[in-house]
Amino acid sequence: MENKTPLQRAEEKEQSKGKVKEFFHVGEVLGYFFRRHDPNRPKNFNIRAMHIINKIAIGLFIICLMIMLKRCVFGY
């Protein structure tokens, strides 16, 4: 067993907090749903259809996760 200084323990604790924070970071997902119109983005129908399908899939996935969590916590 290593003897760690209080500074080392504080740094390890801060690093573990960062990992947990990154795990629950949903900014990228929300940014995908609510992004501003980019004039440089191609206006191709196929790309637009792909993004719509991705948004539907992500939405259904999140809904299913919420249902599974509800069933796990409160039962069927």
State pLDDT tens for residues 7-52: 777 777 666 666 666 666 667 767 766 777 777 877 889 988 998 9
Cα separation values, 40 from 37, 44, 46, 51, 66, Å? 9, 12, 16, 16, 36
Dihedral of alpha carbons 61, 64, 70, 73, sign: negative
Q: Residue 36: its pLDDT value, please?
A: 76
pLDDT tens for 67-76 read: 999 999 988 7
Q: Residue 64's pLDDT band (boundaries 50, 70, 90)?
A: very high
- Is residue 61 scored above 90 in pLDDT? yes
pTM equals 0.53
Give the C-alpha separation, 36 to 30, whole Å. Answer: 12
Give alpha helix (H) positions in the chain. 6-23, 27-33, 45-74
Give the C-alpha separation, 48 to 64, whole Å. Answer: 24
